[in-house]
Chain A
Amino acid sequence: MLLTLIGKQIKMLLRNKQPLIILLIMPLVLITILSTALASVMNSGGEPAIQARLALIDESSWENEEESIKNFLEEQGLSGPSLDAVLTQLKSSDPIYILEDSILSADGVEEYISVEKKQSTGLDSIRKDKNTDGILTIPSSFRLDYIKTAYFNETQTPEIDLFLSQENEIRASIIQSVITEWQNGYTKSLALTKAGITLDQSLQNNSSVEKVEQVLEERERKIPASVYYTAGMLVMFALYIPSFLAGFALQEVQWKVYDRMILAGVSATWYAISIFITGSLVAFVQQLLLLLYGKFVLGIDWIGLDAMAVIVLTYSLFIGGLSALLTTLQFRTKSDGVANLFNGLVITIFSFLGGSFFNIGDVSTILAKIGNLTPNGATMTAILSIQKGRELEIIWPLMSVLFVAFSLCVLLSIVLFPKRGVTS
């Protein structure tokens, strides 16, 4: 029954020129034109807002190592005040201290890297945690090894262990750039110390932030016009699906075909469900075709496919729910006024606020925030965020807008759909 109804609705869509033109040809043409025309304007710039998560496992605290360092220094012939003076100097030039309290805590770096101190006992679970982008393990003898190398010409270089997650290349690169910069700093410090020059500040440079920004500059994807307008047209033209389906449904009532279905025992519920499924299915296929067009014709390299799948599926479900709601409202009012209003006004306003025509955030941040509360705007922002290389988590607040809108549509459809039948 359900398949029969869905099959019929899809045949009606495919055999009418208008839906095919509006749902497929128009977005393809507009994507191509806008991508080409605005390529030079949009294909520059980009905003970094990525924060990598670093787990720091420090097994080499001063408290644990102080005794062995003292013993080592005493073995080297130091004692009394001279021993204390060396210890104080060592403490102040401690590379771990500099990493934790100066580099990673610096304002600029904190924006890009959040640090969480962990215990080595939970290393396996930390590695499995997809939210962790890097794990820096400092061995228990790091400070002693550092002192031996720096001041006593021993050849054993202090080692650290940096594990980088493969989940997000950009975030991993940010961590790597900062740690490498730190390593370069204390290596330089070692060299200078060996040469008899004390230059603790060489570790505490501000180049870490610059390095992160350099990484972002190099690695974060900018949103070119092709990506922007594929997303913009994709979310906008999917909104036309509900009015087509609701229009066909109203025709069925006017032609008395709906009466035939009611007489055949097709319940109002099954009918509404069939509209919902058809709407979702058509929206999914439409979005898929536009994304494939972007990939194979415009050469877009879509990234974050898992997140993209979540976004496209959620938006498709919302379109299905909206199709059911518009059908319900048309059945209630027995006119196509609702669909006409939706096509003529609502889609235009939503697309404007959602940023389908241009980035509304450039005009007003308040309008951009309102735009993100529209289902199409939320979907577009989610797609663009993922295409910038941001993590999956960033889409959940945006997807919640879709879930709310979807739930509202379904609920209203259930409550308002005429159960007994509709006569024209």
Chain B
Amino acid sequence: MLQAINLHKRYKTKEVVRQVNMQLEAGESIGLLGPNGAGKSTTISMLSSLVMPTSGEVIWNSESINKNPESLRKTLGVVPQEIALYPELSAKENLAFFGRIYGLKGSLLSERVEETLQKIGLSDRKNDIVKTFSGGMKRRLNIGAALLHRPSILIMDEPTVGIDPQSRAYILDTVKQLVEEGMTLLYTSHYMEEVELLCDKIYIMDQGEIIAFGTKEQLKSLVSNNQTIELKGHLLTEEFGEVLKKQFPTASVRYEEDIFLVSMPKKEEPLATIFALAAENDVTITSAIIKIPSLEDVFLHLTGKALRD
């Protein structure tokens, strides 16, 4: 069991992580959800022994890793947010290098490299230099490099940032398969749908603190009394948002590209009023959907802002 107790990290005067408590049991898949800058990466760096906490402890198998990190390190597979690969080396050379530093050699190393290349779908590009790869291929290889030594815990920090939907789907499928095979997973992301898909339990983090924890259902129950209305149409401007807020003081309004999302308590029955206000303000609404609460709504409910703000 991997446990974080009152983790605290300060860089000069800036407090990046405050009083974080987490627990990761064998076989569990835990999500760490939060916007950029919430302190997720620092938290997982402390959990993986790469950064010393200012205070607090990380416990692995009942022992603090602050003084003896080696006991934990070899059981971890860490996929950093950065592409932690050598761009001048081929996919195969990269994997072979990381395998060797984990002590793999000879036929075992070759087998593991081939097996990993197959798992991440890069067997046909194994001899190509990494700098010629697409963003998605690099991300897949980044994951592969963390799997070679067959870790028991996989820690992934935003592994799908900046890639095309196809590669993202491939990566999510790969990770889901690993979870199904029994891998313990700690997955950080600001994409709530990824965390929702992969994780049994979720920690929600904001401004360096854990603000909520539970299963998806437990978290969503926090907003079970709420409803979210998704509006599409013409001239859905911020001014119209202000009009809605004035009409429904308990509502929160956010914009996602051309979609307007209005969250408010379930007791309200707003559609007729919204359409009337739209007509008064020369706004055309082409569709209005009342959505089932999501983790996005949970985050909005807890912080008053969207995950991707």
A residues whose Cβ falls under 8 Å from a Cβ of B: 1, 4-5, 8, 11-12, 15-16, 254-257, 259-266, 420-421, 423
Contacts and interface: CB of A to CB of B under 8 A. Distances in A.
A256 B97 CA distance: 15
Interface size class of B (residues with CB under 8 A): 20 to 34
B82 A260 contact: no
Interface in B31-48: 45, 48
Contacts of A259: 50, 78, 80, 84
B13 to A, nearest CB: 18
Contacts of B305: none
B45 to A, nearest CB: 7
B308 interface: no
A420 B48 CA distance: 13
B285 interface: no
B239 interface: no
Nearest to A424: B82
A263 B84 contact: no
A264 B102 contact: yes
Given A260-B78, A263-B50, A423-B45, A255 B85 contact: yes
Interface string B59-80: 0000000000010011010101
**10 tightest Cβ-Cβ pairs between the two chains A and B:** A15-B88, A256-B84, A256-B80, A264-B101, A4-B100, A256-B82, A263-B73, A264-B102, A257-B84, A259-B50
Interface of B: 45, 48-52, 70, 73-74, 76, 78, 80, 82-86, 88-89, 93, 97-98, 100-103, 129, 145-146, 149
Contacts of B49: 263
B98 A264 contact: yes
A15 B89 contact: yes
Contacts of B70: 265
Contacts of B76: 263
A12 B50 CA distance: 25
Contacts of A11: 86, 88-89, 93
Nearest to B131: A15
A401 to B, nearest CB: 36
Contact of A266 (B48, B51, B101): B101
22 contacts: A1-B101, A4-B101, A11-B93, A12-B86, A254-B82, A255-B83, A255-B84, A255-B85, A256-B80, A259-B78, A259-B80, A259-B84, A260-B98, A262-B50, A263-B50, A263-B76, A264-B74, A265-B74, A265-B101, A265-B103, A420-B52, A423-B51
A11 B94 CA distance: 11
Given A260-B80, A264-B74, 17 more contacts: A4-B97, A8-B86, A11-B89, A12-B86, A15-B88, A15-B89, A15-B129, A256-B84, A257-B85, A257-B86, A259-B50, A259-B78, A262-B73, A263-B48, A263-B78, A265-B103, A423-B45
B34 to A, nearest CB: 19
A4 B99 CA distance: 10
B50 A421 contact: yes
B65 to A, nearest CB: 12
Contact of A423 (B50, B83, B101): B50
